[in-house]
Amino acid sequence: MRIRITVNGNQEEMDVEPRELLADVLRNRLDLKGTRIGCDTSNCGACTVLIDGKAVKSCTMLAVQADGHDVMTVEGLSDGEKLHPIQEAFVQKHGMQCGYCTSGMLMTAYWLLSRNKDPDDGEIRKFFSGNLCRCTGYQDIIDSVKYASELMQPQEEKLIAKEH
Ligand code: FES
Ligand code: FES
């Protein structure tokens, strides 16, 4: 089947098998290997991407279901060599160890912070309930998301917050 999708701002058009998973199309046809496959059963969240701005597990979505939609993968976060503030925060706050879960964590963080600029611990935990990490114990990930929210606040807001 012929599909047209926008991936990280680029228009892509290709023929796919109706049974092909979005995760496989991203990795194998578009060479976007940042999207990881950890379980293939919708449990781990390593394959999380954004579809029209909402986090989706790409191992449980057929590529044909993404036809006509906007897909963002972890490769779409940075601006060339410049890391996105969420990536910078994960580096600074040690939100990763082996890194296998990290792409999915970053995309879930992006989804959360695009909806709520200043989430509390409870909301972060709720949003990340579908993302598993074998290494970090999660606290460093929560700290990374909170630091990312600080980095993403406009400078004026930071100054106002300091004054009060
Ligand atoms: S690979 Fe998709 S949820 Fe684990
Ligand atoms: S950093 Fe290793 S699985 Fe999360």
- What are the sequence ranges of the domains in the chain? 2-76, 85-163
Q: Give the single-character DSSP code of 95.
A: -
Mean pLDDT of 55-63: 98
Measured from the Cβ of residue 153, the count of other Cβ atoms closer than 10 Å reads: 16
Kindly report the CATH class assigned to 85-163. Answer: mainly alpha
Q: Report CA(159)–ligand 2 centroid distance (Å).
A: 34
Nearest atom within ligand 1 for CA of residue 60: 2
Where does residue 72 rank: exposed (0-12), middle (13-18), buried (19+ CB within 10 A)? buried
pLDDT tier at 154 (50, 70, 90 boundaries)? Answer: confident
133 lines ligand 2 (CB under 6 A): yes
Residue 162 has pLDDT above 70, yes or no: no
Rounded to two decimals, the pTM is 0.93
The Cα–Cα gap between 7 and 1 comes to 18
CATH placement of domain 2-76 = 3.10.20.30
141 lines ligand 2 (CB under 6 A): no
91 lines ligand 2 (CB under 6 A): no
Which of 163 and 130 is assigned the larger pLDDT?
130
Shared fold status for 2-76 and 85-163: no
Mean pLDDT of 105-122: 97
Q: List all residues whose CB is within 6 A of at least one atom of ligand 1.
A: 37-40, 42-47, 57, 59
The Cα–Cα gap between 147 and 90 comes to 8
The Cα–Cα gap between 125 and 71 comes to 24
Which of 64 and 80 is assigned the larger pLDDT?
64
Mean pLDDT of 122-138: 96
Nearest atom within ligand 1 for CA of residue 36: 1
134 lines ligand 2 (CB under 6 A): yes
101 lines ligand 2 (CB under 6 A): yes
